[in-house]
Structure 1
Amino acid sequence: MSFDFEGEVVMASLPDSSPIYAIVGRIASRWGKLEWEVDRLSWLLAGLRRDEPGACMTAQILGIHNKLRALISLARLNEAPQSIIDDLNKFSNEAIPITMKRNRAVHDSWWMGAKTKKVGQLRLTADKRLDYRWKEITEEEMIGIESDVKKLAQKFFKIDMAIHIFWKQRKRVRRKASPKRPA
């Protein structure tokens, strides 16, 4: 199957052996791990002792921005330091353009030009403005998106560590402050 789109005759799909598919897979997998890390912190700050109840809840929260909103709310509820709240908000804002790139890389269909053999996507999105076009995308561009996702995950790791430190200190303070129960 092929079609003509803005002067480029586009073939149905890339060969299964295309290296683009491996990059798309790594982007999707790294993103899934990042979302899981966000979920795990929500379970911690919600005071859940087991992962399974938290997984039942956070599995219903779609998208990293909604997951981050919940995490930020839980951090505030637990009186996390303002520096952690600020870092989470900054991270959430930094994630927006990377999320958009990730979504396009993973969710738009991959095609190859019949004449040129150039690899690209049929873009189809409408975030306040229609974007419906053939877009050539190089392997280097995809590797750049993969790198952006990796860097974003590394930034989140630092926040994750700060929240775990806060949580351990908070638990120690609460243990010391709670009255001893009679035997």
Structure 2
Amino acid sequence: MRDAYHEELDSIGEGLVEMARLVGSAVGRATTAMLDADLKLAESVIAADQKVDDLQHDLEARAIALLARQQPVATDLRIVVTSLRMSADLERSGDLAQHVAKLARLRFPESAVPRDLHATILEMGQLAQRLMAKAAEVIITEGRRPGCSSWSRTTTRWTCCTGLLFQHLI
């Protein structure tokens, strides 16, 4: 029974890694769509957000079921509760990438970004992608360690980055 429990914990972690990678890809593609006025790419980002949403709902349901069935304590409880928060944060980040893609679609055939801000927005998009890659790395390497605070630092940087991005665009 405990083996199945730990397999489910590991599976939830793998789902979070997949979400982080999907969101990182969406951020990169949304940034490109916005800068290059690429309508097809913007549409693909918008459509792909449903997969991130579905994955978040699945992970949330599995984490809640794990809480109800196994009643984890201490480190395992922190892992499950953190996974709930992480999946919600990643889903929100995916929504932000989708909003950037929608902005690209709205402004098409023009670029949504003034030419003098292209380099700044490109850099911010690349930073956001690196932060998503770091989030996946943290989940893989530190996800089972008690007291891991790397995720919260990564999420804070991502939130600041997307906030700055929207200030420049809106």
Shared fold, TM over 0.5: no
Give the structure with higher Rg (CA).
1
Structure with greater strand share of residues: 1
TM-score range, shorter chain: 0.3 to 0.5
- With normalisation by structure 1, the TM-score equals 0.37
| Structure of greater relative contact order (alpha carbons < 8 Å, 6+ residues apart) | 2
Structure with greater helix share of residues: 2
